[in-house]
Amino acid sequence: MNLAPPVNRAMTQLDRAFFHRTLSVVEAHFNEPKLVGQFIKLYSKDMLKLKKMRNVNKYDDGTRGVLLKDEVHSVEEVPVKLSAEGFRFLQQNKVQLKPYSLTIGYDFWKAEEILGAILPEEFLDEVPSGFTITGHIAHLNLRDEFKPFGELIGQVILDKNPNIRTVVDKVGSIDTVYRTFSMKVLAGDDDLIVEQRESNCVFQFDFSKVYWNSRLHTEHDRLVNTFQQGELVCDVMAGVGPFSVPAGKKRVFVISNDLNPDSFHWMKVNIQRNKVGDYVEPVNVNGRELIQRCLDYASQFDKSHNGGVKYLSKKRKAGEEPIYQFLPVPKFIHHFVMNLPDSALEFLNEFNGIYSSVPEIRRLEGFKLPMVHVYCFEKFSPDEPEPSDEDIQRRIHTRMCRIIDYPLDYDTLQFQLVRKVAPTKPMYRVSFQLPEQVAFKTI
């Protein structure tokens, strides 16, 4: 049976009624309901199996009707197309066979099937049904040739995904400063304030004014899991807090910075909402300034928190006295996070001399040179042979050495392939311990 949806490539507005179809099948009508269970158990392969369609009808008089498999279009075909055993069972139990009209419609087909029936034929090999979900928003990135059909595509995706209330498409390129982009609402509510759950936290933000990528949740967790309780982290390009807020839940101290005033606003909302204000301090400055003056910001953090945080070390049972512990704010930075892959590498030169004015910091108990976690893209031409992972990593290493003005040891760099934004545009995180010669360099 042909179960493809009807085709109308001239459709400019979605007409759901157009997809109404009536299929001719056969119903085996059982006067004795107990026989239905036997038939289902023994001959399920002879029954209709269509997604979203029931294959047993219940009637008011207590009888039951079983729809036979879709290869059987008429009563005359039953002896030929049903299994011999199944047909014999129906005959022996004098089960009545009769034609049955089965109605299917728009809801029967998946989004890509509907789109394949209404988009121009030249697009059938690449029907754009993929998207990312952020809160209640489905975010498309339609190529130019699909944009004239954006509303059609958006409405179908909205219909087929009940958890989605809004479908948007990116318009233009990403802003180079804040990594936001203009967007167009294709279907659904014009409501771009979303709630996104990630890493046991709830994030709220205006999707049109801040940068958020739901595909990075694994990387957020992966990096936060390397932070230890009581460490101090500088999140230089923190956005709305996907690293900072989960880190705060682990009792990691975070100076959480973003230059975008909208990101800063929603970062503060998320710090408060997730109750991590004791551990996460929001800042709104240029990332270069934060790196250069990291110890000043650490000192301010220390003062604003009276040297540390007292916390309940374990849940107490009824009648027990609470047990508190004190977690001091460190006097030095354990980690720098720089998640602005288009340009974060260009900030590496700011690490030169960050500790040059305080050489005595080396004598602090537990002092460690900070780990730097920097994100970057490394594009290559589709016309060149695809470079190996090591080739790409060597290129990144060369760029880093040039910018930081120091011969970083390649073997000490930790490369994590985060994702491929495009076949020729991988995104990496590079983690390394800041060399002493850089941190204490005299400027």
What residue numbers does the annotated binding site cover? 220, 258-259, 339
Residue 382: how many other CB atoms lie within 10 Å: 9
Closest CA relative to residue 30, chosen from 51, 49, 47: 47
Of the candidates 140, 143, 202, 190, which has an alpha carbon nearest to the alpha carbon of residue 165?
190
DSSP string, 416-428: EEEEEEETTEEEE
d(C-alpha 199, C-alpha 245), whole Å: 9
Task: For residue 203, list its beta bridge partners.
Answer: 196
Nearest to residue 433, comparing CAs of 365, 364, 342, 333?
A: 333
- Reduced to 3 states (helix: H, G, I; strand: E, B; else coil), residue 65 is strand
Task: Determine the Cα–Cα distance for residues 54 and 119; give it in Å rounded to an integer.
Answer: 30
Residue 2's closest CA among 54, 51, 52, 71?
71
Binding site for S-adenosyl-L-methionine, residues?
220, 258-259, 339
Q: Are 360 and 332 in contact (CB under 8 A)?
A: no
Q: How far apart are CA 110 and CA 219, in angstroms?
A: 31
Q: 393: which 2 tokens?
A: 């990593």
Helices (H), 236-382: 244-249, 261-273, 287-292, 294-304
Counts of helices then strands in the chain (DSSP H, E): 12, 19
